[in-house]
């Protein structure tokens, strides 16, 4: 299936931020049992947050300037600042530099989260104290957004779109299309499945589209919270209606061969998109769940 890439927004890590290492540090078995880790790695950023008590006349911008931060960092670290008004005496936390805090979803590794945010593993590993099994990370240089962090769906979309994990016919990104015989941009994953296999919602949401769409064939689109959207294409049957609420694991339809599939072998075309100023932009689904190669 050929789709024009509208653009993907990446939030990079500032490479030379606070004198961070360029080369990866060796992985420590346990920060608590390895004295050398304490000698090489700093105290985790989330253990070094300062406290600031709001005073009358202070503004978000003035506090950010005081600590050499951007306002978005303070808003992301302190949800109470997103409410109006905020009364004097309210205490907020101040990180040592710009970034966001991300909780590690159950069943996920910190490396998966770092990859999803397009951050540098060596930098994240160091600023978080060389922890091998953290429950939360501070990602330096990633900007908070009122629409939600770039990859909140790691916790929102915890399911798999088929009853069982399967092989991947075509991955995300620039791929060789076997039907066209040339390289095209592929906006999702093609997951092998027989016709009639149930197609499942990977998370809770509301049906935004259920019908025929050029190229996609029979298509179901689910809008999720935090500006995330999933698409399920080439279906044989559609079992939901527009406006219907669905939960994790609900049946959306069945695998088919409608539309213009990229191969003659039956499969589910699955996409994850996020809402941006450019519209619904496709992103790599691989960080959200493991698929067989």
Mean pLDDT, rounded, for 80-107: 87
pLDDT at position 9 over 50: no
Mean pLDDT, rounded, for 236-263: 94
Q: What pairing do the DSSP bridges indicate for beta strands 50-53 and 91-94?
A: antiparallel
DSSP 231-291: EEEEEEEE---TT-EE-TT-EEEEE---S--SSSS-EEEEEEEEEETTEEEEE--GGGS--
User: What pLDDT is recorded for position 148?
Assistant: 52
Q: What is the pLDDT of residues 176-235, one digit of tens each?
A: 777 777 777 788 899 999 999 999 999 999 999 999 998 899 999 999 987 789 999 999
Please provide the average confidence, as pLDDT, over all residues in the chain: 79
| Highest averaged pLDDT of the listed ranges 38-42, 79-83, 156-160, 248-252 | 248-252
What architecture does CATH give domain 156-288?
Distorted Sandwich (2.70)
User: What pLDDT is recorded for position 276?
Assistant: 67
The residue with greater pLDDT, 238 or 3, is 238
Each domain of the chain, given as residue ranges in start order, spans 17-146, 156-288
pLDDT at position 7 over 60: no
- Return the closest-CA partner of residue 280 out of 234, 220, 244, 230: 230
Q: 141: helix, coil or strand?
A: coil
> 17-146: which CATH number, 3.10.350.10, 3.40.30.10, 1.20.210.10, 3.40.50.300?
3.10.350.10
Mean pLDDT, rounded, for 119-124: 84
Prediction pTM value: 0.53
Give the pair of three-digit tokens for residue 49: 């947050």
Mean pLDDT, rounded, for 272-283: 76
**Residue written as tokens 């996920």?**
108
Contacts of 283 by beta carbon, 8 Å cutoff, 6+ apart: 8, 272, 273, 274
| Highest averaged pLDDT of the listed ranges 7-16, 133-142, 184-193, 238-247 | 238-247
User: What pLDDT is recorded for position 184?
Assistant: 75
User: What pLDDT is recorded for position 172?
Assistant: 83
pLDDT at position 293 over 50: no
pLDDT at position 11 over 90: no
**Helix-strand-coil percent breakdown of the chain, rounded to 5?**
20, 30, 50
Proportion of the chain above pLDDT 70, given as a percent? 79
């Amino acid at each position: 299936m050929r789709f024009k890439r509208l653009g993907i927004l990446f939030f990079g890590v500032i490479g030379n931020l606070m004198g961070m290492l360029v080369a990866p540090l060796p992985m420590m078995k346990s920060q608590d049992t390895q004295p050398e880790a304490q000698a090489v790695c700093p105290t985790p950023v989330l253990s070094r947050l300062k406290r600031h008590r709001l005073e009358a006349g202070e503004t978000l911008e003035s506090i950010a300037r005081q600590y050499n931060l951007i306002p978005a960092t303070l808003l992301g670290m302190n949800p109470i600042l997103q409410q109006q008004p905020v009364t004097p005496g309210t205490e907020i936390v101040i990180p040592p530099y710009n970034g966001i805090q991300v909780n590690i979803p159950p069943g996920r590794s910190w490396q998966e989260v770092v990859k999803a945010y397009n951050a540098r593993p060596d930098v994240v590993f160091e600023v978080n104290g060389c922890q091998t099994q953290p429950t939360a990370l501070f990602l330096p240089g990633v900007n908070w957004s009122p629409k939600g962090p770039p990859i909140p769906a790691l916790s929102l979309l915890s399911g798999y779109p088929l009853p069982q994990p399967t092989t991947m016919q075509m991955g995300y990104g620039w791929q060789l299309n076997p039907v066209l015989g040339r390289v095209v941009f592929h906006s999702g994953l093609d997951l092998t499945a027989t016709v009639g296999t149930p197609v499942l919602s990977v998370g809770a949401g509301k049906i935004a589209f259920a019908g025929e769409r050029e190229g996609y064939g029979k298509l179901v689109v689910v809008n999720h919270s935090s500006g995330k959207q999933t698409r399920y294409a080439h279906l044989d049957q559609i079992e939901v209606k527009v406006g219907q609420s669905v939960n994790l694991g609900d049946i959306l339809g069945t695998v088919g061969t409608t539309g213009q599939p990229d191969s003659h072998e039956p499969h589910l075309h699955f996409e994850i998109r996020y809402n941006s100023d450019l519209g619904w932009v496709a992103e790599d689904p691989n960080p959200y769940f493991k698929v067989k190669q």
